[in-house]
Amino acid sequence: MNAIVKRKASGKLKTLVAVLLALPMTSNAQSDVTALVRGGEILVGGLITLFSSSKKHTNSLTVESVCIKNKMTEKITIVITRQTEDGEEIKKELVIPKDSKECFYELPKGVYTYEIILASEEVYKKGEYFFKDKTVITLKEEAKEEPKNEVKEKPIEETKEEETKTPTD
């Protein structure tokens, strides 16, 4: 009896394996070969980017990127300028919308003069910055201190009252 049960079990197993092997041939694949190749290219490209950007180029004459995040209440324009050793002027300008980020790429290392201009054409800040490495700068609106209402009080005049002493018994 055991031999009959084993034959039925092995027959069911063979049928199941045959169905599982035949099923993919009769159904359509969800993606074709070109989609698989493109997905592999994207995956490999992403891995190459991750591992190649982690190396620092200390002898490089340029900064990979300088990004500016605008967390202010309005759009801003940032202008950076630099004089090269040859006397040429490098001038770059970015318009950064409110709550977004823009970047300068492949800037020569060095000291740059920056100017931050508000949408109202008012100069918000001016200064110098030394770019030597990849940098992200976040611009936030500074809390403006409102002048406190100062009430001018009249000076308190000291008046001395004569104390009256009562005799105690």
Domain limits at 66?
A: 62-139
- Number of domains within the chain: 1
| Per-residue pLDDT, 92 | 92
CATH number of the domain bearing residue 95: 2.60.40.10
**pTM, 2 dp:** 0.51
pLDDT in tens, the chain (169 residues): 555 555 566 777 788 777 777 766 666 656 677 777 777 788 777 777 777 655 565 678 888 899 999 999 899 999 999 998 888 898 999 999 998 999 999 888 889 999 999 999 999 999 999 998 888 999 888 755 554 544 444 444 444 444 445 555 4
Asked whether residue 21 is assigned to any structural domain, the reply reads no
Asked whether residue 134 is assigned to any structural domain, the reply reads yes
Asked whether residue 97 is assigned to any structural domain, the reply reads yes
Asked whether residue 18 is assigned to any structural domain, the reply reads no
Asked whether residue 161 is assigned to any structural domain, the reply reads no
Give the Å distances, CA to CA, from 71 to 40, 44, 97, 117, 139.
37, 35, 9, 14, 6
Q: What is the 3-state secondary structure (H, E, C) of 13-29?
A: HHHHHHHHHHHHHHCCC
Asked whether residue 50 is assigned to any structural domain, the reply reads no
| Per-residue pLDDT, 81 | 95
Joined together, the tokens standing for residue 44 give: 């490999």
Asked whether residue 7 is assigned to any structural domain, the reply reads no
Asked whether residue 159 is assigned to any structural domain, the reply reads no
Residue 126 near residue 115, CB atoms below 8 Å: yes
Please tell me the distance from the alpha carbon of residue 152 to that of residue 149, in angstroms, as a whole number.
Answer: 9
- Classify the C-alpha dihedral 55-59-61-67 as positive or negative: positive
